[in-house]
Amino acid sequence: MKSAVPQNVAEVENRRLGTWAPRKPTPPIVRGEGCELIAEGGDRYLDLTAGYGVCCLGYNHPALVEALTAQAERLSYCPMNISSQNRAEYLEALAGVLPEPFDRVFLCNSGTEAVEGALKFAALVTGRSRTIALRDSFHGRTLGAQATMWNPAARRLYSGLLHENVFVRPDPEAIEDAVDDDTAALILEPVQGEGGVNVLSDEALLAARRACDRHGALLIVDEVQTGFGRCGAWFAHRATPGLEADLMPLAKAIGGGFPLGAIAYGERVAAALRPGCHGSTYSGNPLACAAGLTVIDTLRALDLPARAASVGARFLATLRERLASNPLVREVRGRGLMLGVVLRRRAGRHLARLTSEHRILALPAGPNVIRLLPPLIVSMAELERAADALDAVLSEE
């Protein structure tokens, strides 16, 4: 049977999908190029979200296109009970960029799976199941991850299914008070993404480490959004002197747009794992490994984490200067190319105008923050254009 060609793509999606807000009937996206998405009919959108921070190399980067095409011609699936050359290459490359104490990984397909596995590993190491997370946290949508995600309305929907987790304010004393001898793990994002681009203080992060050490709990640093250059370094938590995590979930940018996640761990966790204690059919998929390897090679070749630090600092300074006297703007904050423009009122209408009037895509973070996560290859000219557009939509009433 010939499949029907949708007359209105948004209409079809709205009819067939049930868990997303309805789409507007604008022409669908048909191509990506650099930092731009191109709609049917030719409208171009500057994407300052990199698709939720995923497309660190922008869209259709030639190195990624070539690597995926070549790998698809050679081998597109290889189960984990058989060795595969490109998986081994990827494992070595990934180990080469991981900070101390990480030298092992579990490969999966998404951020929530990486968080879920990290929670399981923490339970195996400690023999405990209770976890602690921070207010305004976001760690994903599967059951374990959802229990550690702050949004009370979202959690309430599934309350009977969720494991025991407590939330604390991200301040050192609250964190130290919350961790006890029943705690399996404390999970946190070094810069909270979904919750409002909240940069955690060194004091809070080090208090988390101390409290975990004192009670034999594990520290899970969720770098799904902040990792791989986003915050101006390979891993955001390493900006805090002396901070080492026990488990580090990764996803989003590590696949550059191809579904890929990973849990990094070291000797302490490895000692508690046994063959069969965790698994996944798509783990170490050859296409995912080819994408992952290309992302690492390209981030290295173009020095993109360091570039995110310098370009991000300039963009932050520009935004602060441009918006300094704007009564609508409370502050501009963030690190590297993960920035938030904090408003004194809800951000939704301004985000909609950025898109409709300036063809620029940005994300909300909490009710009143405009979140910017541009591809790490973004040009200064594109960021200047973004600053002009933000200034315009936040200046007119």
> Beta strand pairing status for 165-168 and 218-221?
unpaired
Q: List the one residue from 112, 126, 240, 283 that touches ligand PLP (CB under 6 A).
A: 112
**Spatial distance between the Cα atoms of 203 and 215, rounded to a whole number of angstroms:** 18
> Smaller CB distance to ligand PLP: residue 57 or 220?
220
Name the one range near ligand PLP by CB under 6 A: 56-64, 70-78, 111-119, 160-168.
111-119
Is 293 within 8 Å of 67 (Cβ atoms)? Answer: yes
Q: Is 105 or 323 the residue whose CB approaches ligand PLP more closely?
A: 105
What angle do helix axes 348-358 and 380-395 make, rounded to 10 degrees?
A: 120
Q: Whole-number minimum distance, CB 186 to ligand PLP, in Å?
A: 15
Contact 165, 130 (CB under 8 A): yes
The binder of ligand PLP chosen from 140, 256, 266, 340 (CB under 6 A) = 140
Minimum distance from residue 295 beta carbon to ligand PLP (Å): 15
CB of 105 to ligand PLP, least distance (A): 16
User: Nearest distance from residue 260's CB to ligand PLP, in Å?
Assistant: 9
Verify binding: residue 250, ligand PLP, rule CB under 6 A. no
**Between 134 and 224, CB nearer to ligand PLP:** 224
- Which residue from 148, 206, 199 is spatially nearest to 173, judged by alpha carbons? 206
Closer to ligand PLP by Cβ: residue 37 or 236: 236
Gyration radius (Cα) of the chain, Å: 21
> In whole angstroms, what separates CA 180 from the centre of its chain?
29
Tokens of 396: 């007119």
Nearer to ligand PLP, 184 or 393 (CB): 184
**Considering the complex, what minimum distance in angstroms separates the CB of residue 119 from ligand PLP?**
12
136 binds ligand PLP (CB under 6 A): no
222 binds ligand PLP (CB under 6 A): yes
Interaction of residue 144 with ligand PLP, rule CB under 6 A: no
Q: How far is the CB of 366 from ligand PLP (least distance, A)?
A: 13
Q: Which stretch binds ligand PLP (CB under 6 A): 17-25, 134-142, 272-280, 324-332?
A: 134-142
Query: Which stretch, 74-82, 89-97, 110-118, 295-303, contacts ligand PLP (CB under 6 A)?
Result: 110-118
Q: x/- string (CB under 6 A) for ligand PLP, residues 42-81?
A: ----------------------------------------
Of 396, 310, 321, 389, the residue nearest 356 (C-alpha): 389
Least separation in angstroms between residue 111's CB and ligand PLP is: 2
Tell me whether residue 47 or residue 189 sits nearer to ligand PLP (CB atom).
189
Nearer to ligand PLP, 47 or 222 (CB): 222
Residue at shortest CB range from ligand PLP: 111
Tell me the residue ranges of DSSP E strands in the chain. Answer: 29-33, 36-39, 44-47, 104-108, 130-134, 165-168, 183-188, 191-192, 198-199, 218-221, 247-250, 261-265, 329-335, 338-343, 360-361, 363-365, 369-372
Among 115, 191, 211, 362, binds ligand PLP (CB under 6 A): 115
25 contact partners, CB below 8 Å, separation of at least 6:
8, 10, 11
Q: How far apart are CA 27 and CA 67, in angstroms?
A: 30
Q: Which residues contact 343 (CB under 8 A, 6 or more apart)?
A: 328, 329, 330, 350, 368, 369, 370, 394
Q: Residue 187, SS3?
A: strand
What is the spatial order of strands in the sheet that 338-343 belongs to?
Answer: 329-335, 338-343, 369-372, 363-365
Beta strands, E only, 78-195: 104-108, 130-134, 165-168, 183-188, 191-192
| 224 lies in the binding site for ligand PLP (CB under 6 A) | yes
Going from the C-alpha of 187 to that of each of 72, 114, 135, 249, 349, the distances in angstroms are: 36, 12, 11, 10, 33
Site for ligand PLP (CB under 6 A): which residue of 110, 126, 198, 240?
Answer: 110
Assign 203 to helix, strand or coil. helix
Binding mask 180-219 for ligand PLP (x = CB under 6 A): ---------x---xx-------------------------
Q: Which residues bind ligand PLP (CB under 6 A)?
A: 110-112, 115, 138-140, 189, 193-194, 222, 224-225, 251-252
